[in-house]
Amino acid sequence: MNYCSHCGSDKIVREIPENDHRLRYVCENCNKIYYENPRVVVGTIPVFQNKVLLAKRGIEPQKGKWNLPAGFLEMDETSEQGAIRETTEETGAEISDLSVHTIFQSDSNHLYILFLANLKNNNFNTTPESTEIKFFNADEIPWNELAFTSNKYALESYFSKKDNTDKINFEME
Domain extent listing, the chain:
1-36, 39-167
When comparing pLDDT for 22 and 165, which is higher?
22
- Given a contact cutoff of 8 angstroms between Cβ atoms, the answer to whether 83 and 42 are in contact is yes
pLDDT at 126 over 70: yes
CATH T-level assignment (fold) for domain 1-36: Ubiquitin Ligase Nedd4; Chain: W; (2.20.70)
- Given a contact cutoff of 8 angstroms between Cβ atoms, the answer to whether 130 and 55 are in contact is yes
Query: Could you give the CA distance from residue 90 to residue 38 in angstroms, rounded to a whole number?
Result: 23
- The pLDDT > 90 percentage for the chain reads 79
Query: Could you give the CA distance from residue 65 to residue 56 in angstroms, rounded to a whole number?
Result: 5
4-19 confidence digits (pLDDT tens): 999 999 999 999 999 9
> How buried is residue 68: exposed, middle or buried, by Cβ count under 10 Å (0-12/13-18/19+)?
buried
pLDDT at 144 over 80: yes
The reported pLDDT for the residue numbered 107 is 73
- CA quadruple 70, 72, 74, 77: dihedral sign: positive
CATH T-level assignment (fold) for domain 39-167: Nucleoside Triphosphate Pyrophosphohydrolase (3.90.79)
Give the pLDDT band (50/70/90) at residue 48: confident
Task: Kindly report the pTM of this predicted structure.
Answer: 0.81
Q: CA angle 166-119-159, nearest 5°?
A: 45
Query: Could you give the CA distance from residue 150 to residue 13 in angstroms, rounded to a whole number?
Result: 33
Helices and strands of the chain, counted as H and E runs: 3, 10
